């Protein structure tokens, strides 16, 4: 499991996928999210702009990212 440290109060889901290196661009993030391939806290998330806060867990393509401060 990888951790992603917040610099602000939150990070948006698309930005988090890109920052963690799981997608190459925001467009790639948009497509994998729209296709229902990303889970946040074990639930499928279809909103690229979903705000992630400390303690959230993102899953995509066998990878997990924990949001920390």
CATH of the domain at 27: 3.10.290.10
pLDDT at position 42 is: 97
pLDDT value, residue 1: 87
The one-digit pLDDT tens for each residue of the chain (69 residues) are 899 999 999 999 999 999 999 999 999 999 999 999 999 999 999 999 999 999 999 999 999 999 999
Closest CA to 29 of 52, 5, 7, 13: 13
Distance CA(28)–CA(3), nearest Å, equals: 21
Range of 22's domain? 2-68
pLDDT of residue 3: 94
Domains in the chain: how many in total? 1
């Amino acid at each position: 499991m990888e951790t992603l440290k917040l610099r602000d109060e939150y990070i948006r889901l698309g930005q988090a996928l890109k920052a963690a290196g799981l997608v190459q661009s925001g467009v790639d993030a948009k497509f994998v999210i729209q296709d229902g391939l990303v889970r946040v806290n074990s639930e499928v998330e279809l909103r690229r702009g979903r705000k992630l806060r400390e303690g959230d867990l993102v899953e995509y393509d066998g990878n997990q990212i924990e949001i920390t401060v």
